[in-house]
């Protein structure tokens, strides 16, 4: 991939904050586009799986005949970023989900759905994000959690990038990376802080 070309990054456009992710990716130096058909997977260098409802998303992947092609692309090394429900879809093990829900097994982690509680218990906090906020003079990252999962455990080779800094969920893992797969429990696309998207665009570019 030429260093001069903007990386082509798709956003899975079945539900969730598709438009917000596309805008954030474009602002971060990518050529972003919605993905709804299997053939479109052949045209991208990376993919974002947005938030939404993970069991519904797994059904829609089947309805749109995207599940198997996307799983194959991820197995072959397609870089991916999942936020909130996207983290659940990328995980290898999911707690508190329906028995018929499918996931993509791209991250060797165990996640718990709706770990922070119901919609009314959504919250915001500032956190430190390895590789982003540890730069000189970098501000903490404002993170928005909406019916979010957290990571219960990670396998060797999975890097923990962020944890909840305080409160009842203090220490819970909310951002991870394994190779070219990134996931966050929170929604950076809604805050105007582009640093997670810039981080992922740079991952794809490399």
Condensed to tens digits (0 to 9), the pLDDT of residues 108-147 reads 999 998 887 665 467 899 999 999 999 878 899 999 998 8
Catalytic positions, please? 84, 187, 189
Q: For 25, phi and psi rounded to 5 degrees?
A: -65, -45
* CATH of 8-205 given 3.40.50.880, 3.40.50.740, 3.30.310.50, 3.30.470.30: 3.40.50.880
β-pair type (31-35, 181-184): unpaired
Is 53 annotated to bind a ligand? Reply is yes
State the pLDDT confidence band at 54, using cuts at 50, 70 and 90.
confident
pLDDT at 2: 44
List, in sequence order, every beta strand (DSSP E) within the chain.
8-12, 31-35, 46-49, 80-83, 91-95, 107-112, 123-127, 141-145, 150-154, 159-163, 173-178, 181-184
Contact 72, 38 (CB under 8 A): no
Is 170 annotated to bind a ligand? Reply is no
Token duo for residue 126: 């500032």
Is 142 annotated to bind a ligand? Reply is no
Rounded-to-integer distance, Cα 128 and Cα 141, Å: 6
76-103: average pLDDT: 91
Residue 44 has pLDDT above 70, yes or no: yes
List Cβ neighbours of 37 (8 Å cut-off, separation of 6 or more). Answer: 64, 66
Contact 128, 162 (CB under 8 A): yes
pLDDT at 33: 96
80-88: average pLDDT: 96
pLDDT at 151: 96
Contact 142, 126 (CB under 8 A): yes
pLDDT in tens, 157-192: 999 999 999 888 899 999 999 999 999 999 999 999
Residue 70 has pLDDT above 60, yes or no: yes
**How high does pLDDT run on average in the chain?**
92
In this structure, is the dihedral angle defined by the CA atoms of residues 197, 199, 204 and 205, taken in order, positive or negative?
A: positive
Contact 35, 69 (CB under 8 A): no
Is 147 annotated to bind a ligand? Reply is yes
Is 113 annotated to bind a ligand? Reply is yes
Chain CA centroid to CA 172, Å = 17
Closest CA to 151 of 167, 169, 126: 169
β-pair type (150-154, 107-112): antiparallel
User: Which 3 state secondary structure label does DSSP give 48?
Assistant: strand
Residue 3 has pLDDT above 80, yes or no: no
């Amino acid at each position: 991939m030429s260093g001069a070309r903007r990386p082509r990054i798709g956003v899975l456009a079945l539900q969730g904050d598709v438009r917000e992710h596309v805008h954030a990716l474009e602002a971060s130096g990518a050529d972003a586009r919605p993905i709804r058909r299997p053939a479109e997977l052949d045209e991208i260098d990376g993919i974002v799986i947005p938030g939404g409802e993970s069991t519904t998303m797994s059904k829609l992947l089947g309805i749109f005949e995207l599940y198997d092609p996307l799983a194959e692309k991820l197995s072959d090394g397609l870089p991916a970023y999942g936020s909130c429900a996207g983290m659940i879809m990328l995980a290898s093990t999911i707690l508190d989900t329906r028995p018929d829900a499918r996931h993509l097994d791209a991250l060797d982690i165990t996640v718990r759905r709706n770990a922070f509680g119901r919609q009314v218990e959504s919250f915001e906090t500032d956190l430190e994000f390895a590789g982003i906020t540890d730069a000189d003079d970098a501000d903490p990252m404002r993170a928005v959690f909406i019916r979010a999962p957290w990571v219960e455990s990670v396998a060797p080779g999975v890097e923990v990038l962020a944890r909840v800094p305080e409160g009842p969920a203090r220490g819970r893992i909310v951002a991870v990376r394994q190779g070219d797969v990134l996931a966050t429990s929170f929604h950076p696309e809604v805050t105007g802080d582009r640093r997670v998207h810039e981080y992922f665009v740079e991952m794809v570019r490399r």
